[in-house]
Structures are given as C-alpha cells and as structure tokens.
A and B are shown apart, each in its own frame.
Chain A
Amino acid sequence: MSISRRKFLGWLGAAGAGTTIGSKANAASNKVFKGYPDSMGVLHDATLCVGCRECEAACNKVNELSAPDKPFTDLTVLDVKRRTKNEAFTVVNRYDGIPESKGPVFRKTQCNHCLEPACASACFVRAFKKTESGAVVWDESVCVGCRYCMIACPFDIPTYEYDNPLTPKVLKCTMCAPRIEKGLLPGCVESCPKEALTYGKREDLIKIARDRISKYPDRYVDHIYGEHEMGGTSWLYLSSVPFEKIALREDLGITPAPSLTSGALGVVPMVVGLWPVLLTGVYAMSKRKEKIATEERETAVAEAIDKTTAEGEVKLSNAMAKAEKDKEKAIEKAVKTALEEAEKQAEEEAAAKTEAEAAKADQVEPDKSAGKDQAEKIDEAQTEEADEAPKTKDAKTNDEEES
C-alpha cells in the first residue's frame, strides 16, 4: 500500500463532511420550534360543519382542478369515506352513528400544514417548504417523484399523478398560498356559509378555540387537535366527539417528524469518523498478527537449519575422524602386512639364498614383485577412505535443502 494513513483518513474525512453539511441533529436538544411567529392557520370547527361541500367546490375552482363526475351539490358522495385525490385537495366526510353525538358529524380533510412537516423533512431534494406564512408548498422544478413524502405524511395527504408517465406531480392543498400573497382568503374559508372555517394567525386561532371550549364546555371535547399533534399543525380542529371518531388519529404523539430521524442522521458523522479508525485498527492488528506469525515461522526455520547444520557438522567430523582412524588402521595394517610379508619373503629369500647358496651358489636373483603388490594395496585403501568423506558432505547439503 503506497497510500499513507494520513492521506487516507483525510479522504474519508472529506467524504464524511460532504454528508453532514447543513444537517442538524437536535433530537436531544431542548430547542422547540413553535412555528414561525405570526404565521397563519385555519381553525375548523366540526360542530359547525353541515357537509354542504361548498368548500370542495371552491377549492376545485381556485386550484383549477378537473370537474368531478358528480356535481358538488350531490351529497350522496358523502355516503362513502373519501380521501384527498389529485382532483380534490380537500374532502368532507360524514361520520354516522357516533354515540357522543345526536346526528352525524362532518369533518373537512386537507393538508394540515405541519409546523415541522414530515414531507419536508423526508424530501431529499427539499421540494417541500414551510413558508413563513404557514403554508407548506411543493416545488415542481426539483421533485424527483420518489413519493417518500407520501410514506412520511402521518395524515396521508399528498397524492401523486400515477397516470402521468413523464412529469407526475405530487399534489396537495397549498393553503391557497398564491391567494394569500394577493391578500385573499383561502378558497375554502371564503366559501364556507357556516363559518366552520376561520382563517387567522395561529396564535389567535388557539385563543379563539380555547374561548369556545370554555364558553361551551358541553359542546366541545376539551382539546384542540393540531395544537401539539406531530409537533403542531397550522390547521386546528374543534370537535364535539372524540377526534378518533372523526378519523383524526390520536396516537400520533407530539414528536415533530424531523425528530424521528434526527437521531439516526446524527450517527452518520460518527460512523464516518470512527469506522475508519476501527477498521484500520483491525487491519493493523491482523497485519501485525500475520507479521508475527511470519517472523515466528522464519525463526523456527532458521533454528531448524542451525540445528541440522550443527548436527551435520558433528556427524561429518565424526565421520572424518573415523575415516582418519580407519585410514591409519588400514595403513598400519597394510604396513604391518607388508612388513610381515617382506619379513617372510626375506626369510624365504634368506632360506632360498641359503638353499641356493647351498645348491648353486650365486645363480638366483631375489624376487621383487611381491614387494610391489604390497605398495599398490596400500594406495587403494587410502583412496577408498577419501571417497567416504565427500559422501558425508553431500548428506549435509541435502538436509539443508529439505529444511
């Protein structure tokens, strides 16, 4: 590896910084966002709603949506439960058979314009924006169409143009943000004949709602739905019956959506910072272990070689000594034999001489060939012993190679 550890950590640090720019992990902080100051909202008093669908008609008109199959004056559509659609940013539903109420209860559904919207928190291109006026608006120019906003929305509000193959939009109530900019009321609020909808500063709306509850404690459930749900919403609801009876979930809690993921997001820079340290450590440890193992193996091999060499040398010297001894012995023996033979010969010669002298006086010469034989024998013995020595040397070399 030719990359220095410093360089490598620098790269990872840079990559980590890239993922953390601009993100905040406030899950454990004591900061509470109560909405932009003076932001606007709408109070929907379900006790006043009569289900006339005027708001639906107005919404359809101001948002220039396609006309529905049945006219807005047809109240039979209230027989089935409806939800927001691409063609209907708001719908009114009728809830029958609620024991707490004499007659049916009507409740309007639309985007609640959360103070800290789940859709905006979930969007990875920041296509959603909570404006300072209170509206949550969507920007078509950046939307990728992943629909994570729809997964995230606890109120199941955003809809999607599934039949549009190339430029599908995410659609929902905009709190009539364009109209508000012009100083107009939201379409639905303007059209409501029963004043079941009140547009105003959210803070004022909460006061109004409290007033109504305290003035008519028998008429209202003592709760303003949306004051704290999911961290608070810009749309607020009053009801005469428990909110879950009019399909407003009471199990959503008061945690704003961004807090649900901020903890997990907060771990990201920690992983980026610490994982490389841990992993490089693990790598270094395994590398070192390997190094030590190699060293140990090498030491063991060297020791074995040394041992074999030493043994070989001992063997060699022993063999040499033995060879030397054998050689000496052989020489001695040969010399002895030669001497004996020479003596014998000398004796024989002497005897022969005596005989010859006795017989023919000075005709016979002494035999020299026997003495020559003896000398050759000695030479051979010496050569054999010398051969043995190289053999021992060979054995030593073999040992070295094997080990």
Chain B
Amino acid sequence: MSEDAAVDRKSIMTPFNICAGIIVIAGLIVTFIRFTQGLGAATNLSEYNPWGIWIGFDLLVGVALAAGGYVTSAAVYLFGMKRFHSAVRPAILTGFLGYLFVVVALHYDLGRPWRLPYPFIFGYGTTSMLFEVGLCVALYLTVLFLEFSTAPMEWLGYKRTRNLVHRLTLVLTIFGVVLSTLHQSSLGALFLIAPSKLHPLWYSPYLPTYFFVSSIIAGLSMVIFEGTLAHRAFHHKMDEAHKAEHNPLTLGFGKAASLVLAGYFSIKVIGIAAGNHWHLLATGYGFWFLVELMGFIALPCLLYAMGVREQNLKLIRFTAAWTVLGIIINRLNVSIIAFNWQLPSSERYFPHWMEFTISIFIVTLIVLAYRFIVTRMPILYEHPEYKDSH
C-alpha cells in the first residue's frame, strides 16, 4: 500500500506539475486581491492607460492565437483538405479553450464582470465596435463549444446527441468562419476610434483587415506550433492517422502561412503608402515598426517558403513559433506599445507583476485543461465506435 502511494506521489510530483501548481496558487492569490481590492491594487492601469495586458495579451493575443480552430475546420470541411482531418479536433479544442479563457480573463478586467451580458439585454450599443466583438465572441464560443462537444459526448457515450451535433458540422463551420472574420477584424477596428492616440504607423483604416489576415497566419502557425508540442507530450495518445498526417500538415500549413504572410506584408506596405507615412520610418517608432515588418512578417514568409521547398520540417516548426511571437508583438504594439505614444514616459504604462501573474495563470489553466481533455477524450485519436463517421 505504502509503495503504491509513493509511486502515485512520484507520478504526480513532476517538474511540470510543481510549476503549474505554484502558478495556480499564485494566480488564485492575485485573483483574491483583484476582486477584493480592485484593479488599482493588482494593475498599473491609469486614467491615461485604461487597457493593459489583460486586454492587450489575454484578449487580443488570445483571440488571434485561437484562430487555429476556424482556419483548420475551414481548410478541411470547406476547402476539401480531408487529408488533414486528424488536425481538426485538436485545433477545435485549442480554439475552444482559447476563447473560453479569453472570456474568463475578461472577467478580471471588467469593472462589473457579472454585467457581461448587459450589452445584449439592456444596452444594444450597436455603434460600438466592442458590441460587435462581444456578440461575435459570444456566438463563436457557442459554435466552438458545439463543435468540440462531440469529443466529450463520445467519451461519455451520448451517442444520439453526438450524432445529432455531428450532422451540424458544415453549418457550424461556415458560421464559425463568418463570426471569426467579423470579430478578428473588429478587434483591430476597436482602435479605429482613437487615431489621435495610436501611432500613425500602426493606425490605419485597414486595421480590421490587418487583424483578420494576421489571424489566419496566427491560426496556421499555432496549429503547427501546438502540433509540435503535442507530439512531444502526447505522442502515445495519437493514432496512426494522426501521426501519418502530421508531417504533410506541417508542410501544407507552412506553405499556406508563407503565402498569407506575403499578402499581409503587401497590405502593410500599402498601408504606409496610403497614409504616406514613409518619413516616420526614420524615427524610433519607425525602427520598431520595421523590426515587426521585416523581422516578423517578411522573414517568416521567406523561412516558411524555404522550409517547404526543402521539406525542412524543423525549419517550419521554428518559423511557426517565430511567427506566433510576431503576432504577439503586433497585438501588443497596437494596444500598448504604440498606443499613447505621444504621452511623456511618466504617463506610460508598464504592467504590474500581478498582471503578469494573471496572464501566466490563464495560459497555465489552458494547458492544464488541454492536458486533462486529451488524456481522456478522443482528440488525438479517433474513437473506435465513431470511426469513418466524420
């Protein structure tokens, strides 16, 4: 008995679990502080800087990086890339968890989080981009929940409901793409109302288009990136189809990402031309803009193309991680780094350590939820009773 207990203890006390445990405890403590003492105690937000990393990272980056769900399901179900079918479930799962925890994180930032449904009950502030974001995120979270729900239903054996939901796949996929197009772009459009606050190199009437196009890049890169991580941690959970389809998927999505990055690069340059902001490139912010444009758009575009041509999976995987970093930098540039650029440095924002804690806490919760689900439900493999029914 005691030996068994010792073994159990050893299997639970892995370095990963210990780190996760510490983060979760820290997160819970900060959560307590946030909801008892207010945003003032837990954040460095101010009158000039009402949005910090809980919006810039948790919301903007979170939603962009959760784009893998709609990108993959559209590729497989609408564009007919059935050979990547095994990638849909993991992508839907990470998309669902991403959006779910975006909404969870939003509760930290909102002054009165329990009023989150108010815009759809009392206000109906249809002139607000945020209304559009809220409505689409709420609907899309529902769509993702339904798309994902087949996995737990297979796990729990609700065969009839599962088959009913399964028949909705096509409708849900199309609805998901429509909603994603809308809210991914609307997140960029949030900043259209503040031309006097966002640096002109980042402010553009094309902001919604930039956000939408870059969300496709984020989705493609995240599927490759997550796939790489999943292969390291959950290889034993994958069926033959999943393993066999992974490398072609990496090549296929890498090729697509390279193409979309090329388009994104073009429209970013067109944005500079349209605003005639060339002279600003010679400033400090211009340098930072060029780092983003050349280092995180042009470079990964090239690296992806090289990786695909040389069938270099390692290079593609590295590029995927690099591109994800670029998306994070872009969202932070728009919401924080180039926002309020005219204010003196004393009025600028830098996150409080508790803000970092909550952001890391949320990411950890996503990873833990992902692990809980893939070790139990048919995500990386097909359920034997539902084979060929996709």
Task: Name A's B-contacting residues (CB within 8 A).
Answer: 1-3, 8, 11-12, 15, 18-24, 83-85, 118, 120-127, 142-148, 150-152, 154, 156, 158-168, 249, 251-253, 257-258, 260-265, 267-268, 271-272, 275-276, 279-280, 282-283, 286-287, 289-290
Contact = CB atoms under 8 A, between A and B. Distances in A.
Interface of B: prevailing SS: helix
Interface string B158-194: 0000000001111100110110011001100111111
Given A165-B39, A261-B128, 20 more contacts: A12-B175, A21-B124, A84-B47, A118-B193, A120-B127, A122-B130, A124-B123, A142-B123, A143-B111, A150-B50, A154-B194, A158-B47, A166-B112, A167-B111, A252-B196, A261-B129, A262-B127, A271-B178, A272-B182, A286-B78
B27 interface: no
A213 to B, nearest CB: 26
B389 interface: no
| Most interface-central of B51, B110, B112, B136 (chain A CB within 10 A) | B112
A310 B185 CA distance: 62
Nearest to A171: B47
B38 A160 contact: no
Given A146-B110, A151-B50, A126 B125 contact: yes
Contacts of B181: 271, 275
A83 B128 contact: no
A183 to B, nearest CB: 31
Interface residues of B, number: 69
B135 interface: yes
A21 B126 contact: yes
Nearest to A121: B127
Contacts of A268: 132, 182, 186
Contacts of B51: 147, 151
Contact of B193 (A2, A12, A147, A151): A151
A303 B377 CA distance: 45
Interface stretch (B89-97, B114-122, B285-293, B362-370): B114-122
A144 B114 CA distance: 8
24 contacts: A2-B167, A3-B168, A8-B170, A21-B124, A21-B126, A121-B127, A123-B123, A123-B128, A124-B119, A124-B128, A142-B122, A144-B113, A145-B110, A145-B112, A146-B130, A162-B40, A249-B196, A252-B196, A260-B195, A262-B127, A264-B192, A265-B132, A279-B78, A289-B80
A159 B48 CA distance: 9
A148 B190 contact: yes
Contacts of B124: 21-22, 126
| Most interface-central of A11, A152, A154, A158 (chain B CB within 10 A) | A152
Nearest to A19: B135
Shortest Cβ-Cβ A-B pairs, 7 listed = A145-B111, A125-B123, A286-B80, A162-B40, A147-B50, A124-B131, A23-B126
B45 interface: yes
Contacts of A1: 167, 169-170
A118 to B, nearest CB: 6
